[in-house]
Amino acid sequence: MSNDNWGHRARFGIFIVGAEPVPEAEWWAMAPPGVSVHAARVTARTPWAMWTDDRNAVTLSDDLARGAAQFASMGLSAVVLAHSSSSIIGGPGWDHAVVRELAARVGSDTAVTTNGTDCVQALKQLGVRNPYLVIPPWFGDTALRAADRYLGHHGLNIAGSLRHVPEARWADVAPQDLYANRMHMAQRTDLLLEQIQDACPASADGVLIAGTGFRCVGIIDALESALGRPVVTANQASLWRCLGLTGFDTPIAGYGRLLENMASPD
């Protein structure tokens, strides 16, 4: 019988941006045999869940609520709100609030997490305290400042940052217009690799590449070899945490130290 990618060991649900092809592709590339990946697409504005007036809870966007209801019937091992920007813009406490709300909808047998939490946990697992932050070309200055605050709240100090510069043909397109012009469908990881290698400061003890729509897992090993420091990426971190939360501890080669040294997160 041929392999049909049935998730007999674990099934993971990921909430992703409606127009992004990268998250599913990267998760499938990294996922071990017997693990399946299932996406619910979200088109809501960031963050995907809004604080109530008293900031004691969040209200899920319609897409997020609909996806959670669908996931609830699938017997998933874990689900992740795979959107770096929502965690970053949501601010302190947002991750915990959205996890509580999603957990109530998908069921007690399914672990729930967020990409922001996953990235922070992954950095700390690798001993990184002063990461070099790399963001996609479509992240604006507001998102960069929010990321600095978010990581700082979790005890991490950004040693520097890089907004990836795409090919010259995109030079006249503003960050907020790159998606509308489909730049996200023309990402070149060779340029990203070169820019990070050239710019990463000696003061950084690791690299964080934020954004689940940012194509980058194929260069993790090359970056770690060139820099001699660990690299965490958004999709890598969330897969690692979902695997750990469901009891996996088998090393996965080819996608950085984090997955090569699997250990269940707290």
List of residues 6+ apart from 71 with CB closer than 8 A: 13, 38, 40, 79, 106, 110
Please give the order of strands across the beta sheet that includes 10-17.
35-42, 10-17, 78-81, 111-114
Q: Two tokens at 105?
A: 């909808």
pTM score: 0.96
Cα dihedral across residues 86, 114, 137, 129: positive or negative = positive
Q: pLDDT tens digits for 242-262?
A: 999 999 988 999 999 999 998
Question: What is the three-class DSSP state of 40?
Answer: strand
The number of beta carbons lying within 10 Å of the beta carbon of residue 18 is 11
- pLDDT at site 266: 53
* Sign (positive or negative) of CA dihedral 101, 265, 244, 154: positive
Residue for token pair 């965690």: 87
Q: Which CATH number fits domain 10-114: 1.10.3720.10, 3.40.50.300, 3.30.70.250, 3.40.50.12500?
A: 3.40.50.12500
Would you give the end-to-end CA distance of the chain in angstroms?
38
pLDDT (0 to 100) of residue 265: 53
87 vs 235: CA distance, rounded Å: 14
User: What is the number of H-type helices and E-type strands within the chain?
Assistant: 10, 10
The pLDDT tens digits for 10-61 are: 999 999 999 999 999 999 999 999 999 999 999 999 999 999 999 999 999 9
- Write out the residue limits of the CATH 3.40.50.12500 domain(s) in the chain: 10-114, 119-234
Query: How many other CB atoms sit within 10 Å of the CB of residue 73?
Result: 9
- The reported pLDDT for the residue numbered 188 is 97
Binned at pLDDT 50, 70 and 90, residue 3 comes out as: confident
As a whole number, the mean pLDDT across the chain is 95
With 0-12 / 13-18 / 19 or more C-beta atoms within 10 angstroms meaning exposed / middle / buried, residue 223 is buried
Architecture of the domain delimited by 119-234? 3-Layer(aba) Sandwich (3.40)
According to the model, what pLDDT value does residue 1 have? 84
Classify residue 235 by its DSSP letter: H
Please report the pLDDT score of residue 2 as a whole number. 86
The DSSP secondary structure of 126-171, one letter per residue, reads TT-SSEEEEE-TT--HHHHHHHHHHHHHTT----EEEE----GGGT
